[in-house]
Amino acid sequence: MRKHEAIGFHIMVVSPSGDMSMYYNICMLTAEYMYKMVNLAMEEEQVVKVVKFGGSSLASAEQFKKVGNIIHSDASRRYVVPSAPGKRNAKDTKVTDMLYYCYDLACKGKDFSEGLARIKARYQEIIDGLELNLCLEDQFAEIEQNFKNKVGRDYAASRGEYLNGIVMARYLGYPFVDAEDVIRFHDDGTLDEATTEKLLKDRLYNKEYAVIPGFYGAAADGKVKTFSRGGSDVTGSLVAAAVDADVYENWTDVSGVMIADPRLIKDPKAIHTITYRELRELAYMGATVLHEDAIFPVRTAGIPINIRNTNEPEDPGTMIVQTTCVKPEYTITGVAGKKGFVAINIEKAMMNSEIGFGRKVLQVFEDNGISFEHMPSGIDTMTILVHQDEFEQNEQKVITGIKHAVNPDHIELESDLALVAVVGRGMRETRGTSGRIFSALAHARVNVKMIDQGSSEWNIIIGVKNTDFEPAIKAIYDIFVTAEL
Ligand code: ASP
């Protein structure tokens, strides 16, 4: 007997007597309907969202209230990861920076009481604004003592998230789970992924709601350690993977990942849906939205990230997904770039038939601890693009090394280059994309120094002079976005 038949049978038993076959049919239909409703409700209930809020979203009581509204408006927002209070305005200082400053004073044996009082005042302002019955005196006394005992810079920085977590937990009425107990680092400061996953799963298993502060954790000996700056993103991602969330919402102060850097393009359009691969490419080229280590835990677990704006909660933001059939709005998904590269052009007749030529050249870079970015090559030429600041210190050693290794006819250096990446899954199937890019660059009087397109066709890298960097980005944005609007 299927489940709805059992429910129907039960209803039938308690029904008044009469035409049994009609009753039977009505009861079965009612039961089937009820069963579907119960199932739907259960499915809805099971949606789990992990929500991480950045520093600017929690910089003041007013911002906390916006966050409270966002959380309460969706019951599936069950696990909350807060950052430390960030800047309230352009001239303000982040609490994390205030903590670093105080701790550095403490290490020099100087008085840091004034700085600590300022940090205390920031939290008090939030507590008062939210009308919470909460006193952080004990926590501050402990922090002061630990600073005097110089327990560590990571400990110092982590207190911003720790205290904000306590405030957030009280404000929401959610249990507080100290990140020290659930995020585990190895002694060398790298994340112990396996232990972290187990600790998070064990601790959150029977917690319907929780606040877990971002940015820090502890080594096995209990010493507090942090991720690098912006690391609350990573905590959110780890929590999302551990609770098998349906989505990891990352709330910040912009409405998603932008097609181009807003410092170069005025009010650029936001990207609606982007794949992890595309984002990785844009992020590597300088687009900053997420801590780069935040991608891997959720990507492995197949959980999408939704970048949202705390100040514009109605905006859908950007969905970052493993794969999608959602067509990008424009031919390109995004354009980004970086300045400060140098090209080492190596020429040698018959290079193409000299087996091991490339390996020998790259060995020289490896021996000097320099990683290469791109390596376009011709029949008798090979170009290695590297970061200028890394290369400059070892320049002559590298040139001598190449001469010894492969005895080239000619080596030439070209410095002050920029790389521009045009990224988009939509470029794959679209004829004429590169034609449009290069004619736009030609119109903008930008000389193209290098082109590198992988066979995957969703990524074209263009080398230009540093001075042509901004015009190049603008020309590409205009031809694909402004012109397609
Ligand atoms: N509060 C830390 C920082 O300022 C970490 C974070 O916000 O994610 O870098």
* pLDDT tens-digit readout, 188-226: 999 999 999 999 999 999 899 999 999 999 999 999 999
User: 32 falls in which pLDDT band (50, 70, 90)?
Assistant: low
How high is the pLDDT of residue 4?
Answer: 47
C-beta of 230 in contact with ligand 1 (< 6 A):
yes
Confidence at residue 42, expressed as pLDDT on a 0 to 100 scale: 47
Q: Above pLDDT 70, what percent of the chain? A: 90
Ligand 1 pocket, mutate which of 232, 234, 289, 310 (most atoms under 8 A from CB): 232
Task: Provide CB contacts within 8 A for 441, sequence distance 6+.
Answer: 448, 462, 464, 472, 475, 476
Using pLDDT thresholds of 50, 70 and 90, give the confidence band for residue 393: very high
* 235 C-alpha to ligand 1 centroid (Å): 11
> 475 alpha carbon to ligand 1 midpoint, in Å?
34
Region of poorest pLDDT, from 26-40, 143-157, 256-270: 26-40
Written as one string, the DSSP assignment of 247-308 is: EEEEEESSSS-BSS-TTTSSSPPBPSEEEHHHHHHHHHTT--SS-GGGHHHHHHHT--EEEE
Query: What is the distance between the alpha carbons of residues 289 and 282, in angstroms, rounded to a whole number?
Result: 10
Query: Is the C-alpha dihedral spanning 397, 402, 408, 412 positive or negative?
Result: negative
Higher pLDDT among residues 427 and 308, named by residue: 308
What is the average pLDDT value for the chain, to the nearest integer?
A: 91
Helix (H, G, I), strand (E, B) or coil at 365: helix
Looking from the CA of residue 84, the nearest atom of ligand 1 is 1
Cα 432 → chain centroid: 32
How far does residue 63's CA lie from ligand 1's centre (Å)? 17
pLDDT band, residue 352 (cuts 50/70/90):
confident
308 C-alpha to ligand 1 centroid (Å): 17
Pocket test for ligand 1, best of 51, 53, 58, 94 (most atoms within 8 A of CB): 94
Average of pLDDT values for 401-426? Answer: 95
User: Which pair of structure tokens corresponds to residue 43?
Assistant: 């499915």
